[in-house]
Amino acid sequence: MYKFECPSRIGTGSYKWDLVKDVLPMWVADMDFETAPEIKQALIKRAEHGVFGYALLPDEWYNAYISWWKTRHSFEIKKEWLMFSTGVVASISSLVRKLTTPNENVLIMPPVYNIFFNSIINNGCRVLESPLVYKNGSYEIDFTDLEAKLGDPQTTLMILCNPHNPVGKIWDKSTLAKIGALCKKYGVTVLSDEIHCDVVRPSLEYVPFASVDETCKNISVTLISPTKTFNIAGLQTSAIFVPEPFLRHKVWRAINTDEIAEPNVFAVVAAVTAFEKGAVWLDELREILWDNRAYAEHFIDTEIPALSYVKGDATYLMWIDIKKLNVGSLEFKDYLLKNAKLYLCEGIEYGTAGEGFLRLNLATSKANVQEGMRRLKQGVETYKHVH
């Protein structure tokens, strides 16, 4: 059994804890748990060597990814498909830039990870939204709308969030197959962001987009990383795999042109150790995360009836419905920050379909989850009293 300690991060240059002082930060997707001790020890051992020159990608790096996906996700990645990159976001921005021409449409399905918008706009393309449909407390795809927008000749790329951040949705095989068939029909390449793939409800499994069928395999670029799962985002390590040779060459050219294809010495060690030695730690982590989720859900059900939530099967993020309060998500986020000292993410940040929601990070100690729920209740009650 692992301890899963949450040391104080205040004063460590933490983006999560030091950006805004004297609040409980439950916003950015960053865990408070120490990484697996095996990773920590491997990094210490590498640091003790004392020489930090340029790094190669050893066979162990390829084998670690291949073995993990085969064992955990029943999908065999071939060595020649794999490329190193410094991060999933860096890869998305590079590929938007290189797989499109300016002013083309890049389709996304909001509410979705806010940085997708940045990667599209900052690289000269147009965001084309096909919003998810929120019904009976869960989300589904409007395939009529999706097909119409994929069929626009200006749409050349789709960024898929699999599993879906922030709503915690695991897309099933038949849904992914329909997406793949439509994208193939209209000549649209799929970037599948699968960074949250290992953070799923215990006993459940995600479906790699490229594993669905030959169509999905041949039109897709998949972005993967141990960083979200093992809390090592600051080490700048991720991978891309592309089965189709011509598309793979374009991706290889893109990330090398943009100089995001070379690892630092800790990036390789951390990824290899995570995948070779982190399985038991991860299984225990998932139990803790879903115990935290169960606590938060029960608290909202019994103590904050003005709110509801989407029952998430993936990510350590909780998507909270605040529509009954009749307040904008940004306004209420700011209200909680000022009056309850609780820092959450406003739903509008994830597209207009996110209005009326807040996103809360559950990847912290049970004590912090309990305190966060207490502050959320306090904020809701004082807001209702004032308004």
For residue 142, the model assigns a pLDDT of 98
SS (H, E, C) 324-354: HHCCCHHHHHHHHHHHCCEECEEHHHHCHHH
For residue 44, the model assigns a pLDDT of 98
Q: Does the predicted model carry a pTM greater than 0.95?
A: yes
The answer to whether 5 and 34 are in contact (CB under 8 A) is yes
Angle of CA points 149, 179, 99, to nearest 5°: 70
For residue 211, the model assigns a pLDDT of 98
H helix runs in 187-264, sequence order: 214-218, 227-230, 245-257
For residue 234, the model assigns a pLDDT of 96
Amino acid occupying residue 168: G
- Give, as one character, the DSSP assignment of residue 212: S
For residue 22, the model assigns a pLDDT of 96
Could you give the CA distance from residue 55 to residue 109 in angstroms, rounded to a whole number?
Answer: 37
Per-10-residue mean pLDDT, the chain, length 387: 96 97 97 98 98 96 98 98 98 98 98 98 98 96 98 98 98 98 98 98 97 98 98 98 98 98 97 98 98 98 98 97 98 98 98 98 98 98 93
Domains and CATH numbers, the chain: 15-37+279-386 (3.90.1150.10), 52-277 (3.40.640.10)
Could you give the CA distance from residue 233 to residue 378 in angstroms, rounded to a whole number?
Answer: 32
